Amino acid sequence: MHDLRVLDTLPEQAFDDIVQLASQICGTPVGLVSLVDEQRQWFKARVGLAATHTPRDVAFCAHAINTPDALMIVADTAHDPRFRANPLVTGDPKIRFYAGAPIVTAGGQALGTVCVIDTVPRELDAAQLGALQALARQTSALFELRRRTLALEDQAREMARLSQAATDERRRSAEMLDLVLRSGDMGMWDLDVPTGRFTANDREFEMFGHDPADPAARALDWRTLVHPDDRAPLQAAMLRHLAGETPAYTSEHRMRHRSGHWVWVRHHAIVVARGASGSPLRIVGTHTDVSARVDGRQALEHARSLLQRMGTIAKVGGWELELATGHLSWTDEVYRIHEVDRSIEPALLSAIDFYAPEARPLIQAAVEAGMSHGTAWDLELPFITAKGRRLVVRAQGGAVLEHGKVVRLFGAFQDVTERKAVEQAAVDSQRRLSLITDNLPAMVAYVDRDQRYRFLNAHIERKFGISVAATLGRTMRETRSAETYAQIEPYVAAALRGEESSFSYTEAGDTHYQSNYVPDVDADGRVNGFLAMTFDVSELHRTQRQLELLARVDTLTGLPNRRQFDEGIDAALHRARRLRQPVALMFLDIDHFKAINDTHGHAGGDAVLCEFGRRLKACVRNTDMVARLAGDEFVVLLENLAGASELERLAEKVVASIRPPFRIESGELAVTTSIGVAITTDAATSASTLLLHADEALYRAKKQGRNCFVIA
């Protein structure tokens, strides 16, 4: 109970509903959800009792939990030696009757009971005892849900911490990209294919003589700026990439400057998002002005010098390989990482030898692909310095093409040993977290901004038999059925707006789930995704439906009870006012029913009541409500009547249907009924008034000799 953090908590509606139902179903003035700790019993919910707790040594529930698999019934405390001297019996609240169903956890611990108490001796029937046990199981389910929620909240906090670390890394990567773009003097553009929306950085506009702040410039169709002679090769390269034949597409072509002259650009682009069918959704690319190649050598040397300085600050080295001469050049940072003297002239083959033996085939294949096809690479590989230190380095490379031929390779080189160690620690932490979440009886998932699953615990695979590995990276819309996605989509949208949500939904008709979505919001307020925690609450839902049915149906006849009838007559009168149609009510009881009970006992009386309800229901339409109010009192609620003559025929039919002998265990029995009928066309008539008029008509039918009907 201490782990559940439930003792001395504030009232909760779910527990209050349970004690209300227990009291109503069992017909007792007192209903309790009691929890028994070392010194006392404390009431999580109570009705009909002012006290919040009692000492354990006088608690009835302290006895009940000793037999957790059975109800404890004390029909009369005055005759029970365990309790007749108990101060709760001899003094307030003067307990004479007690019935308690133990609240048992999944691990078998009895925490307390759902119990009912009366001040007079009494007994409960089988239906009431079953309902009391069902309420105890419901209470146990609520405590289990509380335990799981507390555990998942702890896990959510840990996952949020890991997510924040990932967010920080992504921000650093974005800053590095911006740094590279600015240092390389590149224009960057972004094309949303379905909408045709084109965005670009300021350099892209300036490169072609346009003001980035001019709205007219941003409305330009940049494809029209390509030189007519260059459009076909550019389109061919693009189509090969869109078909998946190349990892990116590159080109050198001319584009028209605002002043009218042509600017040669080096173009590099890649599809970064595709639809479910493989069609491109988003293309990102860069343009570099290469017009002044002759005069650009000086600018290139300046850029190299800048790269050296920036590399020293950022601890990122740069390298360049001229394919025509085989000349390889390194920045100072690359020398430092290799632990090689700056005076040594590097060579390609000797540079590859610094990689660990198992990594050399990978880097050699990447370099050869770059030379042959201009293929870029980005690898993290084990590395051994000239002084024998083992590192992990990030090696990146790209190609410079002239007239479609690779003439130069260049790239970046970085010591990532420390980062890899941090990542490995994060992976270990993630592994521990996965071990915990995989063994939770709940479905746990992390969904990113694009609604793609980035984490799924093993419970999902166990429950649904789907492959977690095959699902990761796919979107919720792709993996969930259309019916299910339609139910959860509003809550997904809310979570991606940064709003927490808790909701229920169904799958396959009768499987019910409770989901909690917790947004993953970084320090800048950006929502990166959300954590989804989902429980199968089908059993809880079925229990609730059963309890609702018990509360609205007469357990003897199976007909609607007084509570359901009150709801039905209010709804019928509301429809009558709206549609201006009459509503009629038949009020019936069984003539001389007390004599039947006295002669044939309660079993015989119950058999008569059940058969009476069956015959009555057989006389009316499926749309009419037949209900048992209490004892031998029944009502029929009628709508959409053709007229008074139809009401008379129905009343005659009901009286006639009751007259044939009733067959009970002791033999055949003659039974008759008296009926009072009231009808209203007045929009202001209340349910109580209509019922009163029908009752008065019933009284007149009895005065006329019974076995007949009277219409008010």
Res. 214: pLDDT tops 70: yes
Q: For residue 427, tell me if it sits in a domain.
A: no
Q: For residue 461, tell me if it sits in a domain.
A: no
Buried/exposed code over 622-635 (b: 16+ C-beta within 10 A; e: otherwise):
eebbbbbbeebbbb
Res. 683: pLDDT tops 80: no
Q: For residue 669, tell me if it sits in a domain.
A: yes
Determine the average pLDDT of the residues in 293-305: 56
Buried/exposed code over 481-517 (b: 16+ C-beta within 10 A; e: otherwise):
eeebbebbeebbebbbeeeebeeebebeeeebbbbbb
Assign residue 399 the CATH number of its domain: 3.30.450.20
Res. 80: pLDDT tops 80: yes
pLDDT, residue 694, reads: 96
Q: For residue 535, tell me if it sits in a domain.
A: no
Contact 590, 674 (CB under 8 A): no
Nearest residue to 676 via CA among 592, 609, 591: 591
Number of domains in the chain: 4
Q: For residue 490, tell me if it sits in a domain.
A: no
Give me the chain's average pLDDT, please.
89
Percentage above 70 pLDDT, the chain: 94
Asked if residue 305 and residue 277 are part of one domain, the reply reads: no
Q: Which of 401, 420, 439 is the last residue of a domain?
A: 420
Asked if residue 305 and residue 405 are part of one domain, the reply reads: yes
Distances, alpha carbon 300 to alpha carbons 41, 296, 303, 304, in Å: 83, 6, 5, 6
Asked if residue 193 and residue 254 are part of one domain, the reply reads: yes
Of the candidate ranges 66-70, 77-81, 319-323, 577-581, the one whose mean pLDDT is the lowest: 577-581
Give tens-digit pLDDT for 373-425.
999 999 999 999 999 999 999 999 999 999 999 999 999 999 999 988 888 87
- Domain span at residue 317? 296-420
Nearest residue to 196 via CA among 266, 265, 278, 280: 280
pLDDT, residue 299, reads: 52
pLDDT, residue 432, reads: 74
Q: For residue 598, tell me if it sits in a domain.
A: yes
pLDDT, residue 294, reads: 40
The set of catalytic residues is 632
Asked if residue 203 and residue 110 are part of one domain, the reply reads: no
Asked if residue 133 and residue 17 are part of one domain, the reply reads: yes
Please name every residue paired with 42 in a beta bridge, in sequence order, or none if there are none. 35, 53
Determine the average pLDDT of the residues in 31-49: 94
Give tens-digit pLDDT for 274-289.
888 888 889 999 999 9
Determine the average pLDDT of the residues in 317-332: 92
Determine the average pLDDT of the residues in 149-162: 85
At residue 640's C-alpha, the angle toward residues 636 and 645, to 5°, is 80
Q: What share of the chain is helix, strand, coil (3-state, %, to 5)?
A: 45, 30, 30
Overall size of the chain counted in residues? 712
Asked if residue 349 and residue 401 are part of one domain, the reply reads: yes
Torsion angles phi and psi, residue 193, rounded to 5: -65, -45
Confidence of residue 690 (pLDDT cuts 50, 70, 90): very high
Q: Among the ranges 200-204, 305-309, 337-341, which has the highest mean pLDDT value?
A: 337-341
Confidence of residue 503 (pLDDT cuts 50, 70, 90): very high
Asked if residue 366 and residue 300 are part of one domain, the reply reads: yes
Determine the average pLDDT of the residues in 360-381: 95
Asked if residue 380 and residue 332 are part of one domain, the reply reads: yes
Asked if residue 388 and residue 331 are part of one domain, the reply reads: yes
Tokens read off for 58: 């006088």
Q: For residue 448, tell me if it sits in a domain.
A: no
Q: Which of 289, 306, 323 is the last residue of a domain?
A: 289
Res. 300: pLDDT tops 60: no
Give tens-digit pLDDT for 171-185.
775 566 556 556 667
Assign residue 21 the CATH number of its domain: 3.30.450.40
CA max distance for the chain: 127
Give tens-digit pLDDT for 432-458.
767 777 777 888 999 999 999 999 998
pLDDT, residue 172, reads: 75
Asked if residue 688 and residue 562 are part of one domain, the reply reads: yes
Give tens-digit pLDDT for 15-30.
999 999 999 999 999 9
Asked if residue 284 and residue 317 are part of one domain, the reply reads: no
Q: For residue 395, tell me if it sits in a domain.
A: yes
C-alpha 652/C-alpha 646 separation (Å) is: 10
Tokens read off for 683: 């929009």
Q: Among the ranges 68-82, 458-472, 541-555, which has the highest mean pLDDT value?
A: 68-82
- Of the two residues 544 and 399, the one the predictor is more confident about is 399
Q: Which of 420, 444, 479 is the last residue of a domain?
A: 420
Percentage above 90 pLDDT, the chain: 65
Asked if residue 340 and residue 394 are part of one domain, the reply reads: yes
Number of Cβ within a 10 Å radius of residue 145? 16
Please name every residue paired with 626 in a beta bridge, in sequence order, or none if there are none. 636
pLDDT, residue 191, reads: 85
**Helix H or strand E encompassing 536:** strand 527-536
Res. 430: pLDDT tops 50: yes
Res. 606: pLDDT tops 50: yes
Determine the average pLDDT of the residues in 490-516: 92
